[in-house]
Amino acid sequence: MSAAPAGLWDVLLLRGGYNATVVQSATLLLGAAAGSVGAFALLRGRSLMGDALAHATLPGIGVAFLIASAIGLDPRAPAWLLLGAAVFGVLGVGFVHVLTRSRRLSEDAAMAVVLSSMFGLGVVILSHIQSLPGGNQAGLRSLILGQAAAMRTGDAITMGVLALICALGVTLLFKELRLVCFDGEFASARGWPTGAIDLALMALVVTVTVIGIQAVGIVLIVALLVVPPASARLWTDRLWRVVALSAGIGAVSGYVGAAISAVVPRMPTGGAIVLCAGAVFVVSLLIAPSRGLAASALRLARLRVRIGREHALRSACEWLEERGEQVENGARVPVADALRAVEDWPLWRWFVRISLRVRRFARIEGAEFVLDLRGASEAQRISRAHRLWELYLERYLHVAPTHVHSPADLVEHTLSPELVAELERAVDAERSSMNGAGGPR
């Protein structure tokens, strides 16, 4: 990166000049508004609608420019252009609705058609504007990828105020939006006007999209509606926390992204903001407490270690029974026999050994596997669950006795004590007529 007139820290601490400060505050508010509106759009399954309608705004900008030049207004006034954008954004949503009405086209096909062909219309209109005297379209094309640095103070203030209004709208409609997002049918059965609430949500999406065009650009504005809520969703299940977190992530991304683009020459604001939000998403995906990759890898590893442990204990139990020995404290089994059912991968075996040791189930002395008191009862419990399940499969599902072992191998680890008790009751009646042991008690 080349040298910048002001350092990133200066800009982040709002020492980058008045205009930069205003623009950053505005993108912060935009991020917060888009994050909170986007959270509801995501939960309602309408994430990509923002993409379709954002692309559909391009012809609106062109048409607004043409109308303004025809009636002698300033054709580059952002408020006017964005009004055109809003009208065509709504039109785009309407077209998607019409195309899906026939039920032959799914919503995604309708969105792809509307998005691309309305953007195409916009490109055509821009190429026409280019030919007009004084129709230098540079100002219009910058809306496609966004350029916050080119925003004037007044525009930024307008954007900030509108974003604030959107955020307020979300707060006011919180209860209604929550209803349609979680159970639209229930809401309409209770007499809520779900159609009107959906319409209000779409209106909020349109507003956020349109005010974000100048800073983030048509192509990337949808990211502000999707990425922050998707990241927030990874952290929590409670709605108000998702909304607040998403607004926060959006705000920080808007703020930091605008600062980076002010500092790094030629850095497009939209790209910088989206990359900030994207970085938050990637980090969230890795470390979020329950849905994160690290957490689920850990869960999986613990499950596999538990399965390995239980297999080892059951193998030991079976080995002892085959030789008519008691499964009790201090019983000794050759290590190779005890660990034969454990996955043959050194790391897992090592984990399984540690886990047996730590839980005081068994310890390994030389080539022997020595059961502890706790281990003996655990081994009996797991063997019992296994055999009960085998019996159940034989009796009630009429699975051949030769085919019950491997399904029972899978299920034994998930049988709760209540279920074991129930299985016991179910097979108890026929216990007397059984061949062999009914399983250790």
Partner 1 sequence: MSPGLTDFMALDLMPLLAAALAALSCGIIGNYLVLKRMAMMGDAISHSVLPGLIVAFLLLGEATTFPMLAGAAVAGVACALLVGAVRRLARLDEGSSMGVVFTIMFALGVVLVSINVRNSHVDADCVLYGAIEHLSLVWEPPATVGGLFSLESIGGLPRQVQSLALTLAIVLVFVGLFYKELRISSFDPEHSSAQGVHAGVMHVALLLVVALSVVASFEAVGVILVVAMLACPAAMARMMTDRLGVQIALSAALALVMSTGGYFLATRWPAVSPDPGAVELESSGMIATLGGVGVLVAVLLSPRYGLAASALRKLRYRVRVLSEDQLAMLYRVEESAPDGDATLERRHLTLGVGEGGTERLLARAALRSNVRGGRLERRGDQGFALTESGREHARSLVRVHRLWEAYLVRELGLRPDHVHGTAMDLEHVREHGLSSELERESGDPGIDPHGKTIPR
* Subset of residues 210 to 239 that bind partner 1, contact rule: CB under 8 A: 219-220, 222-223, 225-227, 229-230, 233-234
* Cα atoms found within 13 Å of the Cα of residue 320, Cβ hemisphere only: 26
- Nearest Cα to Cα of residue 250 among 267, 274, 272: 274
Q: Between 233 and 311, whose beta carbon lies closer to partner 1? A: 233
Q: Kindly give, in sequence order, each residue whose CB lies less than 8 Å from that of residue 339, ignoring residues fewer than 6 positions away.
A: 312, 315, 349, 352, 369
- Amino acid at position 439, single letter: G
- Give me the 136-175 binding string for partner 1, x by CB under 8 A, dash otherwise: -----x--xx------------------------------
| Residues of span 266-325 touching partner 1 by CB under 8 A | 266-268, 270-272, 274-275, 277-278, 281, 285, 291, 293, 296
Comparing CB distances to partner 1, the nearer of 130 and 171 is 130
Q: Work out whether 47 is an interface residue with partner 1 (CB under 8 A).
A: yes
216: closest CA among 282, 142, 266?
142
112/157 with CB nearer partner 1: 112
Q: Applying CB under 8 A, does 75 fall inside the site for partner 1?
A: no
How far apart are CB 264 and partner 1 at their closest, in Å? 7
| Comparison of 147 and 158: residue with beta carbon closer to partner 1 | 147
130 touches partner 1 by CB under 8 A: yes
Distance of CA 274 to the CA centre of its chain: 16
Whichever of 118 and 371 has its CB closer to partner 1, that residue is 118
Q: Which parts of 178-197 interact with partner 1 (CB under 8 A)?
A: none
Kindly indicate which of the ranges 18-26, 99-107, 375-383, 385-393 contains the residues binding partner 1, using the contact rule CB under 8 A. 99-107
- Out of 20, 23, 48, 307, name the contact with partner 1 by CB under 8 A: 48
Is residue 30 near partner 1 by the rule CB under 8 A?
no
CA 130 to CA 137: how far, in whole Å? 6
Q: Measuring CA to CA, how many Å separate 388 from each of 102, 307, 310, 399?
A: 55, 18, 16, 14
Residue 76 interacts with partner 1 (CB under 8 A)?
no
Helix (H) or strand (E) holding 368: strand 368-371
Q: Tell me how far apart the alpha carbons of residues 165 and 204 are, in angstroms, rounded to a whole number.
A: 10
Site string for partner 1, 369-408 (x = CB under 8 A): ----------------------------------------
The Cα–Cα gap between 273 and 213 comes to 13
Strands 332-334 and 368-371: what pairing?
antiparallel
Residue among 162, 280, 177 nearest 213 (CA): 162
What sign does the CA torsion over 303, 305, 308, 310 have? negative
For the CB of residue 126, give the shortest distance to partner 1 in the complex, in Å: 7
Of residues 212 and 308, the one with the C-beta less far from partner 1: 212
Out of 77, 99, 150, 173, the only residue in the binding site for partner 1 (CB under 8 A) is 99
**If binding is defined by CB under 8 A, does position 177 make contact with partner 1?**
no
User: Which among 70, 64, 53 has a CA at the least distance from the CA of 114?
Assistant: 53
Cβ atoms of 126 and 140 closer than 8 Å: yes
Helix, strand or coil, per DSSP, at residue 398: coil
**How far apart are the C-alpha atoms of 252 and 227, rounded to whole Å?**
13
State residue 354 phi and psi, 5-degree precision.
-60, -45
Binding string, residues 55-74; x marks residues near partner 1 by CB under 8 A: x-------------------
List the x/- string, 100-129, binding to partner 1 by CB under 8 A: -xxxxxx-xxxxxxxxxxxxxxxxx-xxx-
Site for partner 1 (CB under 8 A): how many residues?
Answer: 73
Q: Which is nearer to partner 1, 226 or 356 (CB)?
A: 226
Pick 146 or 375: Cβ nearer partner 1: 146
**In the complex, minimum distance from the CB of residue 275 to partner 1, in angstroms, rounded to a whole number:** 5
Closest CB 36 distance from partner 1, rounded Å: 16
Instruction: Report the residue number, 112 or 173, with the smaller CB distance to partner 1.
Output: 112
Q: Tokens 């505005």 map to which residue?
A: 26
Task: Of 93, 96, 94, give the one whose Cα is nearest residue 110.
Answer: 96
